[in-house]
Amino acid sequence: MSDRYETPRWDDEPEELRSGDAVAANPSATDADASDLDASSENVLDGWPAADAKERDAEPEPHAVAAAVATTELKAPDLDALDDEQAAPSAPLVDHVSDTMEHAPGELTVPPGYSVLEGEAAGERRAVGVVVSRFNGDVTTQLLESALAELEACGVSRDAVTVMPVPGAFELPLAAMALAKTRRFACIVALGCVIRGDTPHFDYVSSEAASGLQLAAIETGVPVAFGLLTLDRADQAESRTGKGAEAVRTGLEMADLFANLRAAAAR
């Protein structure tokens, strides 16, 4: 593994754990290499992000709130109209549930006047570890292909990616933690698939895999992206294999966010 990639490092960790950057991974690296590595993130902030002064001082006009309340009228229901609707034959319901069952529409909007610190799914100069389950291999192979294609699209070179296959989803957390503890990866992407069967096995495996992956991230401080499919039926996997790419973007964004956070805190 090349040591030129940026990896997480926390200032409050023991010295022996700070081996993710180029200097710690390679004692022979020069000070110039270390300086170049610290400046490798393209969107590192020049300090804590400051909100625009005009936006920060802007407050909603009291009369605007009062006007909005005043224009809201409470009307009693029209009982005659309700009786007519109940007597009429009911129209078929529009099937819009399938479009909104899993996710709510819209984007996050931060109100003006607040400082915002965020990251981007940028992979240049970053190493990524991928742990993938061999169980339900037809599905996990597609997840892996989706993830690798997204890594390449985000600028992560092939020699910066390490793929670690494991027997099943239950082994994903242990493998993710092992990779994270090496301090050589900016983030870990965990891929797997669990399909519900006739026994409670599904519940135990999916629940422990999810909590274990979260624990790996919390204990190491390295982002671990969740790319585990939990399906009721095998045919549900076809429309969800893009979750591999989604997990990659999540991991890279969190890695970039942490890099920006460390850079801002150091100033």
Which residue's entry shows tokens 């997840």?
143
Is 63 a residue of the active site?
no
Q: Which residues contact 168 (CB under 8 A, 6 or more apart)?
A: 133, 134, 135, 192, 205
Count of C-beta atoms within a 10 Å radius of residue 61: 9
Residue 197 one-letter amino acid: G
Which sign does the torsion angle of CA 60, 66, 72, 76 carry? Answer: positive
Catalytic residue among 63, 96, 103, 201: 201
Helices 243-265, 137-153: axis angle to 10 degrees equals: 40
Distance of alpha carbon 27 from alpha carbon 254, whole angstroms: 28
Distance of alpha carbon 208 from alpha carbon 212, whole angstroms: 6
Helices 201-220, 172-181: axis angle to 10 degrees equals: 10
Convert 168-192 to b/e letters by CB count within 10 Å (16 or more is b).
bbbbbbebbbebbebbbbbbbbbbb
Residues belonging to the active site: 201
